[in-house]
Structures are given as structure tokens and as C-alpha cells.
Structure 1
Amino acid sequence: MAESAIDSSLLKKSALPRALYSGHAVRELDARYIAQAQVTGLALMQRAGRSAFRHAMRRWPAVRHWLVLCGTGNNGGDGFIIAAQAVQQGHDVRCLLLGDTGKLQGDARRAYEEARQAGVAVETFSDTLLHQALVNAQLVVDAMLGTGLTGAVRAPYDAAIDAINQAETAVMAVDMPSGLCSDTGTLLGKTVQADLTITFIGLKLGLFTGKGPGVVGELVFDSLGCDDDIAAAVPAVAIRLDWATARVGWPKRSPTAHKGDFGRVLVIGGDLGMGGAALLAAEAAARSGAGMVFVATQPEHVSGYLARRPELIVRGVRHRSELLPLLEQVDAVIVGPGLGQGPWGQQLLQAVRTEFDGPVLIDADGLNLLAKEQGDPDGNGAGKRKLGNHVVLTPHPGEAARLLGCSVADIERDRIRALDSLSNRYGCVVLLKGAGTLVKNADSASVPTLIDAGNAGMASGGMGDVLCGLIGALLGQGQEGVSAAILGGVLHGASADLLAAELSMAGMLAGDLPLAAARLLKSSETRPDTTGAVHV
């Protein structure tokens, strides 16, 4: 794929703002904008409605039969403006209000009156009316709940959402798909499955993490004219990063460089029956800039590793004593891929923790062993001795749950809170995998980074091992732990996006990613030199 094709398929998100907010923060942005710009709430609502209508026509230019579902809050007000726009353009519109007209207040009430004056016949919702309207509708506009939802979806919204999701009709959600929590990305019961979501003023975290990416569809943002100074005055809960931004931070190479300038990385893992994990990590490190890559694995794997990738320096290690000389030769260590939780893995992890003081990435069974230490009152668990920001942990939600002694549901219920808990408890950099991967260091004041890259094709074995190699290569090249985790995480997701565009999500293998990553790095080498690190 040519670089122009890479740009068009992977860099289109770069127009989105980087700051991600809670629903409460966006409401504060809205209030500040109204006060500072001396614009009315109704005027903003009109801008939002007109913008949503334009984007709907861009996506579905042939649509003529609309069904607009409105709640009684400001989200419903946006829906009334959309309905008015559609009627004024000669479209057939059914508009159903979920709730009593007496509950409409303020700007939402004024938008309702404007819609009535434009010729919109607003009907009170019923199951019968909804099913009748869905028969002819070509587009459903979800303007029911928006960002204000905090508890479970109740009647009649749950029935309306069920009917929308079962109908074979295009759906545009206004601000948020109804049922999706704007703060956490959790589903608060029944949730609209949108084909297009248009959101306003500020990007909400829930659109990008947890279950959010699975229900948002195409995401469109309109600031409605809210400028950067106003947005900067409200603290973000996370910073979004995509490949378009991250690629300029990849370490640059001097024309006179040699392999010693780019770090010696050691991968420790590959117990019997799990040799592929360490090999995938090592290949990824080699493909993403590490000067030399060493592997410490079970002796049975040495010949196979060298046959597959002769560039690696592979050592068979049975005991801790055989690992110690390798630790003296390297700049960074990856421990965990295929490590196992038996005596072999335990002694190698313990050797790294006691004998190596450089940057370390711990993944997979290395994390499971840490979790066991944490739960052992007689052990020297990580909770009793902070690991430090030179250590990077890369758990998926199951591993994160074991590290915190909670359930996976607890992790996914609020991923930002889980990330904070992990970084505080272990005192190190944490990359929490999943849809909307999050990265944070142990500084309680630091703002997490959300990695806006990746796709469902990554739900297959070995993907985490490749991520280890990408981050480990950066650690070996001198990047700080948090910068290495962020850059490696974005490259990982972007490489999978490239493969999905070229091949398919279903046919993607972890072993395909290292070469895709190397191809993406070409675009970082052709950009003007700016900085050697991502600062957060």
C-alpha cells in the first residue's frame, strides 16, 4: 500500500481534537461557551441540529423518510431542530416524544415550539406508533438520552431502543447513542447501535473506550464554534492519540548510527509448549528499531527460533544463574510472553526484579505471577515495594482484575478508575489493553492517554506479544516508560488497522503485525524531525 493510501486509511482521525472529557465536563464547556461567546443555548442547539442534518444527508443522500425520537432534555431539543430541518427540506418526518410535553423546559421547550412552527407533527411515543413509523423509515434519529444518563435505561426508552436495534434501518445518534455512558463507555442497559454518531462541543471519553466503539459507528465531531481557549480551561480526563500524531515522536536515526545506538533488548519467555509468544515479541522488537534482540528461552526452542529469525541472539536458559550474564549485556528487558507460572518462570522473573535495574516490561504470566505475590501476605509483593516508572505493565482486563483482586466486570465498568488503581498500587506505568487502550504512569496528577487505533481483528492469539516487542524496542532506545508504552501502543493498533484495510480483520495474524509496523515506520522517517518523545 502506497503512503498516500496509508494516509487516507489511517490518518483520517487526526482532525478530531485530542482532549477527551466526561459528560459533566462537556456540560461545563457548554456553559462557558454560552457565557464567554454571548451565544444563547437555543442558538447552539440550532447549530447542532443543522450540523446533524447536514451530516445525515452526506451519509445518506437518498433518505427521504425520517423517524426522529426525542427525549425531554436538551438531547431531545437537538432532535426537534433536526426534524424541523428535514421538514423544511421537503422530507417526510415522523417525530415521537418519549415523555410528556409538560416536562420540556428551557431551550428544549423552545426547540419543540420551533419544530411545531416548521410543520413537524410531534406525537407522543407509544410502542404501536414506533413500530408503525419504523415500517417506512429510512433513517432513525436517536435524540433520546444524550450525555446526562447515569443510571440504567428505563421504560419506555428500553422498548424504543430494542425496536430500533431490531429494525433494518440506518441510525444516527445525536451526541451519544442512548444507553451509552459518556464517562466510562459502559452500556447502561439497552443501548442504541448507531451507524453514525455526531457529537458536539467536546469529545466524550465513553465514545472511545469500553463498549463505546462497538455502538458508535462512524464518529463525527462538531465544536459548534467553541474555540481552543475555552476547551483548554476545562480539564480533560484523557488525551486521545492516533498514528497521525504519534508517528512524529518515533526516535530518529542519524546517518552515522550503528546498532549499538538503538539498544539491546532481551525477551525472556517461551516455556515448553509456549515458545511462539517469546518469538513474536522478539520479531516485533527487531522490526521496530531495536539494535540487537536477545532471547532467553527453553533450550528446546533455540534451533527453531534461529531457523525462523537468524537475526536474533537466542540463548537456552534452564536456571536463573544462566540468565544473569544476559542481564548484564542488555539495556531493556521484556519478561512474560509464554513464561508460564511454574518454577522456571518464577525464578526468571525474580532474577529480573532483583538483578536488573533498567527498564522492564512485564506481560502475560509475568503479570499473573505479580498478582500472586500481591495476594501472598508472606511474599514481597509489588504492593509492598513500588516498581517505579521504568517498569511497564501491559495487562488485558482479565490480568488487570487479578492484579487488583477484583472482577473483570469491575475493570470494564470504569476503565479510567481501574487504570488509576493499577498505576497507584504498583507504582509504575500501566497500559490497560482493550477497546480504547489506556496508558498512565504512577504520577497521580498525570492525564491518561487513550490510544485511538486498532480493530476487532486484534482479538486473536499473540497480539499482546507483538505489543511487548514494540514497546520493548522503544525502551531499549532510551524512551521513558510512559512514552514507550504510548508510542508502541499506537503503532500496534495502527499496524492492525493497516492489515485490516489490506487483508481482513478475520484473517489477521499476530505474526503479520511486525512487518506492517515496519512499513508504517517509513511514514515516520519521511516526516520533518520534531521531537524524540511523547510528553504527557
Structure 2
Amino acid sequence: MAVKLKSYTSSGEAQLSRLYSVDEVRSLDSYAINHLGIPGIRLMKRAGRSCFDVIMNRWPALRSLTVMCGSGNNAGDGYIVAALAAQSGIKVKVFSLVDPARLSGDAQTAFHYAQQERVEVMSFPGRQLELDDSELIVDGLLGTGFKGELRDNYVQAIDWINAQSVPVVALDIPSGLAGDTGELASTCVEATITTTFVGMKKGLLTGRAPNVVGELIFCDLDVPDDAYQAIEPSCVQTSTTQLFPKLNPRRPASHKGSHGHALIVGGNSGMGGAAILAAESCARSGAGLTSVATRAEHVLPLLARLPEVMAKAVSSGHDLADLLSRPKVVVIGPGLGQGAWAEQMLQQAYLANLPMVIDADALNLLAKGRVIGNLPCHRWVLTPHPGEAARLLDCSLEEVQKDRFSSTQKIQQRYGGVVVLKGAGTIIATSKGVFLANVGNPGLAVGGSGDVLSGVIGALIAQGLELDDAAKLAVCVHGDAADMAVEDFGERGMLASDLIPYIRELLN
């Protein structure tokens, strides 16, 4: 699921591709203050102003709002919003979870600014609080510095916010969300809009974050580009638009051999559909030739659906070895199973020394370590979902999802090549860095969508793309195709095969 994203920046859309850790955003703040001479309170006022402008743009007839404040700079942003609302004649109340006298630095200055505008500041009384006539809530409870467990009064405040039937605007990050990982605390503010500042926090776009972020709006607060040049982001957002130029136009005198030959290996007994989906998506994504090595019973159904492919029945690794001299890439795993036949297929495919896309049960066999023990290998793309990733790392699913960035990097370091950790906010780890694709929607949560993706990756490698570029472009096109399909027909009932015509359209 993609987070709906907008940008209000002075330096253009390029800022949206830079995804920072919490510490890196602090370094951006520090650089702006200490090296560029921008006072911290000025940045805080810009943050409050940008959030208030978003509110007034979305709800121009707003008459009253409630601001919830904690103890740090996130609260300071909230007090600025409250002061600006009061200046505009909007009825505003602030409920604070701490004694405002305990605030320090810029947050204290912001509190005094709200006092000057006669903003009413009260202690949060707990769940019994009545919202009265407020039409909107601003979440200024916890910023990006939150870690660990929530205190009881914050749990009460967040649960109270979520129980109200009015829109919620989160300042910088929904309270209870981890800015580095996308992991949620025991409870988390469910925002209608999140306005985030200075640097895009990478945790806003993956894990369970899409469930709570709502529409995400980024503002760089007019921080000069010098700061962004000084602080490198730990992750980069990738997109179809960025990557499409990697796919060279076809030359007039080209022939089928000019566009590569991909071999799909899979479709064990009873699982032929997965190999068929991978083969069809591969052919429709531009591979000049697509072959399939599968169980004998799947050959006729495959040819009936897709007569353009070359289908071969293989009963042993020896049978497969005879087919491995021609292709440029092997896609193995869709419907492969984990028995003796599957192990022979994986062993022979590996011995062919070709680029590989490893998916589904081939990943599970890899995790077992019996078939391939020579690690790491740098000529493959691994495409695990979180469960398969847990098996590759010999850990729990919860550990994988708790920090998807770290999990993807650990798999890449252990197994080599390119790793695509599927799910909301798909993460791609390569030897060159970490990338995130903010694409797709819940319609992709259906059997077979991963088989389609593996076929697209294979087709792009066959056409000459490097492994990392093929993986990134395939993930983006796959997610964008899902958005196009949903726009036409809706999320519910989408099939993996529905994606294929849109993938073809996008790649052209």
C-alpha cells in the first residue's frame, strides 16, 4: 500500500526521493541551525505555519480545533499552530500532558507565543474529556524522538484522539509511530493528514505506517540545499519515472533474440498456475523469448493459455540441464514446491551460472541451506515476502516486520545480490544502497501477485538491465499497474493476472 504523498518545498520534488533516519533529520536540523544560522524557533514557526496552512487549505471554513501537546519540540509545533489559529479567529484549545512550565528551549518560547495570543491551555483530564465543538484535532504529543513503550497518559490521549469522529492532523509523525522503521507502539494516532518537516522520515512509508499516516505532506521549511548536500540519506525513494530511461528503445532492425531469453522454472504438481503467471508477465514485459520448465501435466494448460512460450516437461535435474544453455536469465520458484524435484531444479539452475530471480519456494529451499551452500552470491535477485524473509534470517515474522530496513539489509549481506522485501513500502537492498518503492495498494494482497512480479524482473534482466535496476523498475511498474487496475475496477476482487495488461502499458 502506498502512502499518498505531496510536497510543499522550496527545492523541488527531488527532496521526496531522499528518505532519512531520525538521527539524519536531527543532523539536518543541527546543520541548518549551527552552520547556516537559522534559529531553531524560526524553523519551529515555519513548521507550525506550514501545518496551519495545510489545515486552512483543506478545511477553509474551520471554526474550532483542539491541539494535543506533549513535552518536546513536537509540542512546540503544536503551540505555534494554536497561536496561528487564535490569530485567525478560530476557537482553539490546547490540552497538555505535561506542565508547560517544564518546557525548555524553543518549545517554551512557542508556549509563550500561544499565551500571548490568549490560547487556553489545560491539562489533559483523561478519557473522560468531551471534545465539545472542535472540528479537528492536531496531534503534537510525540515527535520522532519516541522510542520504547508509551506512558499510560499518552496511551489514554492517543486512544481518546482515535475515538473522536473528527479529522486528525499529525505534526511531523503520528504519535506512537517509529520514524526509523514504521513500527507502531501499543497504540498510535490514526491521522487524516501527516505534515512532516525538513527531511522525509523513512519509517513513514513502510511497515504498518500506511495504516496511520493518512495523506502525507512534506515541507522542507525553506532549509537551504546546502544542508541536504551535507547530510546523506540512508535510503532513496525510487519510481517508474526515474527508472524507465534505463529501458532502451527497441532498434528498428531488432529481432526476438535482441530482447533476451528468460526461462521460468516452477509449477510442481498442483501448482502450475504460479509458473503460468510468471511466464505470461515475463512475455508481456518484453522478453524476446520466454521458456517454461515445468511438470508434464502443466504443459498443455500453459500452451492453451500462452502459445507464444516454449514449454518443456522436466522430470529431473538432468532434463533441466539441457535447457540452460540458451537463456540469459532464470526465474525459479513460482509453484516450485520443496521436495526432491524442486531441489534438483534449484541445484541445476544455480550451476548454470546465469543471473537468477529466486522467488517463493526457491527461497524456502535456499533458507534450508541444503541445495546451495556457497554464499553470498551476487548474480541473483531474491524476492521474499516477510514470512520468507523470516526463514532466510532464521528469525520470527515479527522481528522482520519490526524493522524492515534492517531485515532487508541483513538478507542482502548474508545472501548477496539484490533483495526485494515485498509488502507495504517495498524495500530493495543492493550492494549500492537501500531503496524504497512507495507504490501499490491493498489489492495486491492476493495470491499470484508475487509470481507476476518475478516474471517482470526476469524480463527486464533478459532485456539487458542490471539486476538492481531491473528489480527496482519491476517493483515500481508492478505497484503502479495495481493502482491503474484499482482505478478502473476497485481493490476488492483484483486478480494477479489483472495486472499484466497495465504492466505492458507502463513499460511502453
SS of equivalent residue, structure 1 residue 467: helix
Cα shift at 1:396? 0.6
Deviations for 1:451-507, whole angstroms, at most 9, x for unmatched residues? 111111111100100110110011111222111111111111111111122211113
* Counterpart for residue 533 of structure 1: none
| Residue 241 (structure 1) shift | 1.1
Q: Is 1:292 aligned to 2:289, yes or no?
A: yes
Runs (5+) with no aligned partner, structure 2: none
Of 426, 442, 446, which aligns to 1:437? 426
- Once residues 119 and 24 of structure 1 are traced to their aligned partners in structure 2, the CA distance between those partners, rounded to angstroms, is 35
Q: Cα offset for 1:387? A: 4.2
Structure 1 SS opposite 2:253: coil
Gaps of 5+ in 1: 1-8, 374-378, 523-536
Q: Could you tell me which amino acid in structure 2 is paired with residue 394 of structure 1?
A: T
Q: Distance in 1 between matches of 2:163 and 2:455?
A: 43
Tell me the distance in 2 between the aligned counterparts of 1:286 and 1:74.
53
* 2:68–2:139 contact (8 Å) kept in structure 1: yes
Q: After TM superposition, what 4+ stretches of structure 1 lie above 4 angstroms from structure 2?
A: 9-14
Conservation of the 8 A alpha-carbon contact between 1:284 and 1:470: yes
Q: Secondary structure at the match of 1:198?
A: strand
Residues 370-391 of structure 1, C-alpha deviation per residue, up to 9 Å, x if partnerless?
1112xxxxx4644xx2242211
Q: 1:417 aligns with which of 403, 406, 409?
A: 406
Does residue 511 in structure 1 map to residue 497 in structure 2?
yes
1:310 aligned residue = 307
Look up the match of 1:427: 416
Distance in 1, Cα, partners of 2:361 & 2:489 = 31
Q: Find the counterpart in structure 2 of residue 532 from structure 1.
A: none
Is the aligned partner of 1:131 residue 2:129? Answer: yes
2:466 and 2:239 mapped to 1: Cα distance? 19
Amino acid in structure 1 at the alignment position of 2:109: R
Structure 2 match to 1:531? none
For these two proteins, the number of residue pairs brought into alignment is 501
TM, length-normalised to structure 2: 0.96
In the aligned structure 1, how far is the partner of 2:123 from the partner of 2:254? 71
Asked whether the 8 Å contact 2:6–2:216 carries over to 1, the reply is no
Secondary structure at 2:35 match in 1: helix
Query: 3-state SS of the aligned residue for 1:361?
Result: strand
Q: After the TM superposition, which residues 256-335 of structure 1 pair with which residues of structure 2 at under 5 Å, given as runs?
A: 256-335=253-332
1:326 alignment partner, SS class: coil
Compared CA separation, residues 10 and 179, structure 1 to 2 (3 A): closer
In structure 2, what is the Cα distance between the partners aligned to 1:11 and 1:405?
Answer: 35
**Which of 246, 251, 256 lines up with 1:249 in the alignment?**
246
- Report the Cα distance in structure 2 between the residues aligned to 1:318 and 1:337, rounded to whole angstroms: 16
Report the identity percentage: 45
Give the residue type in structure 1 aligned to 2:404: R
On the 8 A contact 1:69/1:79 being kept in 2, the answer is yes
The answer to whether structure 1 residue 195 and structure 2 residue 192 are counterparts is yes
Residue deviations 1:29-50 (CA, integer Å, cap 9, x gap) = 0110112332211111111101
Task: Supply the distance in 1 between the matched residues of 2:424 and 2:476 (Cα, whole angstroms).
Answer: 12
1-structure distance, mates of 2:292, 2:168? 51
- Tell me the distance in 2 between the aligned counterparts of 1:54 and 1:401: 43
Corresponding residue of 1:529: none
Q: Distance in 2 between matches of 1:271 and 1:60?
A: 56
Match of 2:312, as an amino acid?
R
TM-score (norm 1): 0.91
Question: What is the aligned partner in structure 1 of residue 358 from structure 2?
Answer: 362
Q: Match for residue 121 of structure 1?
A: 120
CA positional deviation for 1:225: 0.8
Match of 2:217 in 1: 220
Deviation of 1:251 (Å): 3.2
1:388-467 mapped onto 2 (5 Å cutoff) = 388-441=377-430, 443=431, 446-467=432-453
Task: Provide the alpha-carbon RMSD of the alignment.
Answer: 1.7
SS at match of 2:494: coil
**2:480 alignment partner, one of 480, 494, 500:** 494
Q: Which amino acid aligns with 2:334?
A: P
Q: Contact (CA 8 Å) 2:5, 2:217: kept in 1 or not?
A: no
Q: Distance in 2 between matches of 1:155 and 1:299?
A: 61
